Chains A and B, each alone.
Chain A
Amino acid sequence: MKMNMVSAINLCLAQEMERDETVVVMGEDVGVDGGVFRVTEGLLDRFGKDRVIDTPLSEAGITGTAIGMAMNGLRPVAEMQFMGFSYLSLNQMICHAARMRNRTRGRLTVPMVLRMPYGGGVKALEHHSESTEILYAHFPGLKVVIPSSPRQAKGLLASSIRDPDPVVFLEPKRSYRLIKEEVPAEEYTIPIGKARVTYEGDDVTVVGWGAMMPLIEAARKQLEDISVEVIDLRTLTPMDSVTVVNSVRKTGRAVVVHEAPRSFGAGAEISARIMEGAILHLEAPVERVTAPDITVPLPRSEEYYYISPDRIMRGIAKVMEF
């Protein structure tokens, strides 16, 4: 069935709620309104208000309550309306969700999913375009999963909901309705912690995730003379370094693309891992194609900030010409 990412996530939530009655959905406007992006549309009618919970406007409240639910036998899927507002609940994620298993030596666990739309490119208000995945990726105990397409989103979300540990599930909002692709109607899972080589090539490895993947694909198509290998990382933590390192050992060149600011971004971590695992194979320094270290601008100047296929092509050219 052809569908966009919103429909794929919606279908996944419905199937998981059908399969497992401990799965609950909660957040601001997720019930009657079906979510501001309509991701949870129809779930309230189907599963009732006890399992599709319209909460007060309260990010820490939502997250902390979800943690308690998860500690006592539920599998909550909590929504942060936008990533830029999730910081209000960071304390709960860092101090409790991430640590409960370790703190109790495995006695109490937090199998929850914190879903949120991230990233820019939709001409949004301030705080609505953030790509701050690294805030979550830095903390042991959390997993960070970022789908790049409808098919990926459905399989990865199913795995995230079934995962025994807390998963931060970042949905590239600009891709919500951008791409339609064939998505299996039946249940399936895509494993967390496994990257996917989306295109095989020999000259250069380009690593990205989420909203960057369609841009990388557009860049690749325009580079007829260069054989580009593309990796969709899919999971930031735990990261599948093996797939990345093996690819770079083959190609000898690497470009990492992310829409977060450069310094201390995931690109730095990936670059370090490539250094550790493939330094003698490298023909050029690892190139980072990222946003600059400035605040996300308002829409009038967003074109300066966001990644474009053109910028990715320039990054590839740089490592090829080194």
Chain B
Amino acid sequence: MVDEFDPLKGKRLQILRETGTVNKKLEPEIDDDTLIRAYRTLVLTRVSDDKAIKLQRQGRLGAYPPSIGQEASQLGPTMALEENDWLVWAFREWGAITWKGVPLWRQFLYWMGNEEGNNYPEGIRVTPTAVPVGSQILHAIGISYASRLRGEDSVALVFFGDGGTSEGDFHEGLNMAGVLNTPTVFVCQNNQFAISMRRERQTASPTIAQKAVAYGFKGIQVDGNDLLGLYAATREAVNRARDGQGPTLIESFTYRMGDHTTSDDASRYRTKEEIEEWEKRDPITRFKRYLIKRGLWDEAREEGMMAEIQDEVEKAVNKAESYHRPSIDDLFKHAYADMPPELREQMECLKQKEVKE
């Protein structure tokens, strides 16, 4: 598949069309339960996202980067991973980390301003939020190199955005991965914007996928609102990586329907008409149509699921909001494995001030 859709020839993979019909030749085999679970995760991501924005407006959550429109772009690639594979994300991939098992309440907790939100349960191979754009790309290479050296057959998949491809770490990362032939899968969520800057202002390349060619490996551009296409392409990339055939770059061609973060106002740099065009390509509506066509879904089930999800989100928010405020000890004790004496003194000093007030 990756070979057939050569970005240099202007090809873009699409399996699931806007209408909900599929390219039968390329349709991946996914069992019914997994398809339904995928749909549920897409919807859960959107509902959580909407909730997070509302909480931010009420002053109950800090600045937050909405996922709306990119749910399939986050989930499709992640579904191609096994439990033992690593997920290295940036900060706009709730759908991905949810699928990997990061509890929803910890995600809310993080955006409410508590590092404890990054403290995922044991065994979940997901790195924490990485805010400096593109800087996490390199970690995926080291992680996957380490897996291979230690005799595991796990791979690392890393997400970054179109803006991230302008950073030096993108170049150094893909170059390093090519040379070391690491089992790494690069997924660029090209959502067309880096805050206000359009994709064309990031690179003069017609596609991001074609950049892979210069690093000596394959790249493919995929419809980023097509969960099946993303899953299929990534599955192939993951298998190739696991098989020792090195890295792949996947460009997920999607659209950021919301603002960059809750501090941004996207109406300053794009039109309503443009957004309406993309609404027609919505990844969740499309996937729902597919499920209905396959006889896996109907409105009665939808209603039941929505009630369940609303409840799940409310519970997660409550749990995050009632989580205890970090103590002064919490602030200091993770600077080093063993607290240096000087630091202990500073901590005690801060505690004394706290008591006096």
Q: Is A35 an interface residue (CB 8 A)?
A: no
The interface on chain A, measured as residues whose beta carbon lies within 8 A of the other chain's beta carbons, has a size of: 51
**Contact among B146, B169, B333, B335 for A140, CB-based, below 8 A:** B335
Which of B20-28, B171-179, B206-214 contacts the other chain? B171-179
A54, chain B: closest CB distance, angstroms: 9
Instruction: Verify A60–B169 contact, CB threshold 8 A.
Output: yes
Which of A115-123, A168-176, A199-207, A235-243 contacts the other chain? A235-243
**Cα separation A62 to B180 with both chains bound (whole Å):** 12
Q: Is A15 an interface residue (CB 8 A)?
A: no
Instruction: Verify B119–A105 contact, CB threshold 8 A.
Output: yes
Q: Is A6 an interface residue (CB 8 A)?
A: no
Chain A residues within 8 Å of B115, by CB: 102-105
Q: Is B75 an interface residue (CB 8 A)?
A: no
Which of B35-43, B127-135, B258-266 contacts the other chain? B127-135
**Cα separation A140 to B135 with both chains bound (whole Å):** 19
**Contact among A61, A69, A72, A105 for B86, CB-based, below 8 A:** A72
Instruction: Verify B150–A238 contact, CB threshold 8 A.
Output: no
Instruction: Verify A24–B149 contact, CB threshold 8 A.
Output: yes
A21, chain B: closest CB distance, angstroms: 9
Instruction: Verify A55–B179 contact, CB threshold 8 A.
Output: yes
Give the one of B141, B142, B145 with max A CB within 10 A: B142
Chain B residues within 8 Å of A92, by CB: 135, 138, 169
Chain A residues within 8 Å of B118, by CB: 103-105, 107
Residue-wise interface mask of A (79-109) relative to B, using a CB-CB cutoff of 8 A (1 in contact, 0 not): 0000000001001100110001111111111
Instruction: Verify B149–A95 contact, CB threshold 8 A.
Output: no
Residue of A at shortest CB range from B119?
A105
**Cα separation A149 to B145 with both chains bound (whole Å):** 34
Those of A8-38 within 8 Å (CB) of chain B: 22, 24
Instruction: Verify B139–A67 contact, CB threshold 8 A.
Output: yes
**Cα separation A100 to B136 with both chains bound (whole Å):** 12
Q: Is A74 an interface residue (CB 8 A)?
A: yes
Chain B residues within 8 Å of A63, by CB: 138
Residue of B at shortest CB range from A78?
B142
A123, chain B: closest CB distance, angstroms: 31
Q: Is B340 an interface residue (CB 8 A)?
A: yes
A52, chain B: closest CB distance, angstroms: 12
Give A contacts to B, CB under 8 Å.
Answer: 22, 24, 50-51, 53, 55-56, 58, 60-74, 76, 88, 91-92, 95-96, 100-109, 140-141, 143, 163-165, 193, 237-239, 241-242
Told that A50-B149, A238-B342 touch, could you supply 14 new A-B pairs with CB distance under 8 A? A51-B149, A55-B180, A60-B169, A64-B141, A65-B141, A68-B139, A68-B143, A69-B143, A76-B142, A101-B337, A102-B335, A105-B115, A163-B337, A238-B343
